[in-house]
Amino acid sequence: MGPVRGELAGRNRRRPANAFPTLRTVRTGDVIGGRYELEDARGSGSGGVVWAAFDRKLKRRVALKRPHAAADHAERARFRREAETAAQVNHPNAVSVFDTVDADDCWLVMEYVPAESLDRVLAAGGPLPPERVARIGVQVASALAAVHAKNIVHRDVKPGNVLVTDDDLAKLTDFGVSLWREVTRTDDGRVTGTPAYTSPEVAGGYPASRASDVFSLGATLFAAVEGTPPFGDGEAHEVLERVRRGEVRPMRRAGPLAPLLADMLRPRPAARPTADEVRARLKEVVGEWEPPVPRPARVPVRRRPAFRAAAGIAFVVALSAAVLTWPYRAPAAQTSASAGGLVGDERTADPCALIDQEELRRFGPTRVSTTYGNFNRCDALVDVRAVKPVDVEIQLITRTSRAVQGGPLDVVVEAGSSEECDRTVVVDDAYAVRVTAKLANPPVDLCAVVESATGSVLEVLRGGPIPRRAVPFPAGSLANVDACALLDDEALVALAGFNGGSAVNVFGHWGCKWYSTLGGPAVNLRYDQEPAQQLIEGEPVEVGGRTGYVHVDRESSTGCAVSVPHRPRGSAQGTHIDVVELTVGGDRPGIEYCPRAQRLAAVAAAKLPS
């Protein structure tokens, strides 16, 4: 089941007329078309869901995309035709289409490379200087010119479909394969595209053309340099009405780009420059600057497995069998994306404030614990007259650490089991709340418990920002230590063969994930809290001047974990201690990763405060 806005999933409600038909559920490890093994659900938008996958035949990573909606026979035929057309595009600044699989809900197989979409770049840092916008624009215009030369119309040029790396390599993605086309319906139902970047003629119901692509590129570059689309934001019908009237906002920051943008945004299609003319004029602005040449790397021989770090970033694979990689810049964007929003400062947001004990007490006596896991988590323990209580976990997470579909206050139903039920509440573009109920052989319906807890989460979020923690963390707590800083790029490259700059903050920098874009194992470092007198699982080993405990991960059997207890010197004897949990996991038996896990744990342990 997909996201449900404003209500809990599972309740009786009439399906809206435009709701997506149900697709079959897919999970990590499923093989699509007998060839592509799914790894991570990396992101979701109005156009569909994108997965990282491993191509078993060519031994490389690819990106697989399928739409939210199921396809009928006619749509499948159109999908194949349009995908074949898109596959003709071979340009360094355009995403390549490698393959299609239409036997399993219509999948598109594309290039893969991690990069940030332009809309995320703008959300994180605000408007860009004209020179940088020109550098991005000259590449996208070049790609559009190549596309138009093959009589292909993109139909949806917008910041979300432009990928940008740190060194300003830009790629145009999401060519107009109809199943993925974002649709905005007005009174006459004829408009396709994204309202803020739609040309006047398309807003008036005419088909998209090369000239409308140029207009959309102009609107995209306008938004990049001015910080807002040329026709502003708001309800779709309001934006489209301003588009039809040609009410372009004045340019205040565009500088040398202003004359060209004005020409690209002309109301009459015939008066606009072609994509190639746009490229030539932007080339005059950028001068001698040349787009960076991607540095090819070896093709991965193993898929990247278990501890997957889902990034809320747009991505595609390299133009050939080679894999291109760029560092991922997570923390700054995550912190700023919700500044002043419902989460605010990650380290002071109180997950326990999302729990309504009175609501849960209808299932049994309830108490709250803050020491059942990491610092971003709060647990409600509900006594249901079983051997153990139902453990209801409320966990704050970043959406870059776990792929989450939907918009603000949507509730996503996760795949569960008889012993676990899960929901995810979308907070905003940057954050989500995981709600999980666990108990072996439960005498109650765990999903009923979860729906009750989820309703409380929604009620708090609708009321405004999450309340702050009443009591700060103790001075010696690991809650004051940045988990992402415990492993530096040098250690990751030398000891684990990872790419530098791949850290993904889970929440509050109390957990961090690193993954190799070249395949191979992944690293998950997080904090935990354990009873002070409880024996820690594993064989004792010396790591970084401390005692750690190493063991093969029981759940996956393809990971090796090292636990490092942390009790600051001079701290009072408490009921619980902090623990660093470092896991290296992959597709090999877990024991094979233990040496690497111990080496990395030694680096992390040596950086812990005494």
Structure tokens at 279: 């490229």
d(CA 294, CA 289): 15
* 226, burial (CB in 10 Å: exposed 0-12, middle 13-18, buried 19+): buried
CA distances 406 to 46, 183, 196, 203, 546, Å, are 9, 16, 20, 26, 43
CA distances 39 to 25, 488, 587, Å, are 14, 25, 11
166: left (phi over 0), alpha (psi -120 to 50) or beta: alpha
d(CA 594, CA 603): 14
Per the listing, tokens 């998950």 go with 524
d(CA 427, CA 599): 37
d(CA 67, CA 105): 8
d(CA 466, CA 479): 19
Q: Are 351 and 375 in contact (CB under 8 A)?
A: no
Per the listing, tokens 């760029």 go with 326
End-to-end Cα separation, the chain, in angstroms: 48
* Among 481, 520, 488, residue whose Cα is nearest residue 502: 488
Alpha helices in 87-199 (DSSP H): 118-125, 130-149
3-state secondary structure of 411: strand
Q: Indicate if 156 belongs to the active site.
A: yes
Q: Burial letters for 274-288: b for 16+ Cβ neighbours within 10 Å, e otherwise?
A: bbbbbbebbbebbee
Per the listing, tokens 């071979």 go with 90
CA distances 495 to 241, 326, 521, 544, Å, are 58, 20, 12, 14
For residue 550, count other CB atoms closer than 10 A to its CB.
21
3-state secondary structure of 531: strand
For residue 492, count other CB atoms closer than 10 A to its CB.
21
DSSP 354-380: G--HHHHTTTS-EEEES-SS-TTEEEE
Radius of gyration (C-alpha) of the chain in whole angstroms: 25
One-letter amino acid identity for 603? V
3-state secondary structure of 516: coil
Q: Of 40, 119, 156, 553, which one is the catalytic site residue? A: 156
**Catalytic residue positions, numbered:** 156
